[in-house]
Amino acid sequence: MKKALLLFFILGNVVVCHAQFVLDGKMTARNINKIYLSYTDSKGARKSDSSLVRNGSFRFSGDIKEPTISMLSTALNARMDQANMATIVLEPAAMKVTIGQDDFKNVMVTGSRSHAEYASVNDQMQKIRARWQVVMDTLSAVNKRSNFAFQELKNWVLKPYNAEIDEVQNSFLKAHPTSYMAAYFLRVKAGELSADSLNKIFARFPLKVQQSSFGKAIAEELERKKKGVPGVVAPAIAKTDIDGKLLRLSDYKGKYVLLDFWASWCLPCRKGNPHLKELYAHYKSKGFEIIGVSDDDRKHDAWRKAVADDGIGMWKHVLRGLDMEKRMRNESNPDDLSEAYGIRTLPTKILIDRNGVIVGRYNGGSEDDAALDAKLAEVMP
């Protein structure tokens, strides 16, 4: 009897940890014979399942252990921007989805509380984005060129719309601190927050949410934010530079080194290059060096052209070491300098002292110039 009870409790725990979902669907489109569902299963494996569409009906089932983001589409490996693709938040439950004629962007889902929460927030954000798109289309019609001044104008115009989106997300986080979707939306905006701000919100989540896949992603982001911050020893750098020569950060011991994380396609980065040239000219004789770390691993020609066009070849340049295959598999890449230094936005500048210790980190564009200038004046008077 005791063994039977023990087996019952063991099996019960297995059911709690790994539960099956069932998604029954209805669609009015008559020219679609097969539909696909991509999601992460209870073992953490990425699944791409398919179902035949018979008389407008289809069914999917599988094992998941928590609310899970899935992609329902008419094509295998569909892109996020495809018309016939919908995001559905699966739960370990019986759910139904209804798709109108060629209307994957407005699917109706029942049986998933998490999806209802996701849809509520997403609908609000989509309405804001629709308003900002009207403004962007108008601006683009007026100015066809993408120059620094136009980029700044767009950023200024979009600022209130971005603030509205932040408010929608923040309101949901405050109202639903125990929701898995709160962790999902926090993960989406985690890169924009400081480590302290992110940790304060994350700490309010219950343990089950912190230990969910969304929660683990936030915890990983917190660990990344601890890298490349003042007070820690700068991670090692050993890269082939733009001239084909080996560059080691350790060779610069005894000098102040500014790592400039930038890209040829980053307008704020390039707008800041004239100021960097001024700093380099002023402090070089005092033992100051700059190493440009570019996010142009897939655009070598654009990288070289930007260095030449901006006249910044007087300091060293390397590529960050991005490996898209590893990123798609969610694998760490020890050769990626942006990972090593916890870089989430461009431009970011990191100041390293003569002993190889980070003494300054400056995120953003010209708004941080004053802080960097003050620090350089302090350490190299």
Return d(Cα 71, Cα 153) in angstroms, integer. Answer: 35
- CA-to-CA dists, residue 177 to 92, 205, 304, 367, angstroms: 21, 6, 47, 33
Q: What is the pLDDT of residue 330?
A: 57
Q: Are 242 and 304 in contact (CB under 8 A)?
A: yes
Domain 17-111 sits in CATH at: 2.60.40.1120
Sequence length of the chain is 381
C-alpha R_g of the chain? 25
Topology alike, domains 17-111 and 238-379: no
The segments of the chain whose pLDDT lies below 70 read 1-18, 77-83, 143-149, 151, 326-332, 365-367
Q: What is the pLDDT of residue 148?
A: 63
Residue 255: which of 120, 163, 354 has the closest Cα? 354
Domain range annotation of the chain:
17-111, 115-225, 238-379
Q: What is the pLDDT of residue 146?
A: 58
Domain 238-379 sits in CATH at: 3.40.30.10
Q: What is the pLDDT of residue 9?
A: 40
Does the global pTM surpass 0.85? no
Q: What is the pLDDT of residue 135?
A: 86
Taking only the tens place, the pLDDT of each residue in 231-260 is 999 999 999 999 999 999 999 999 999 999
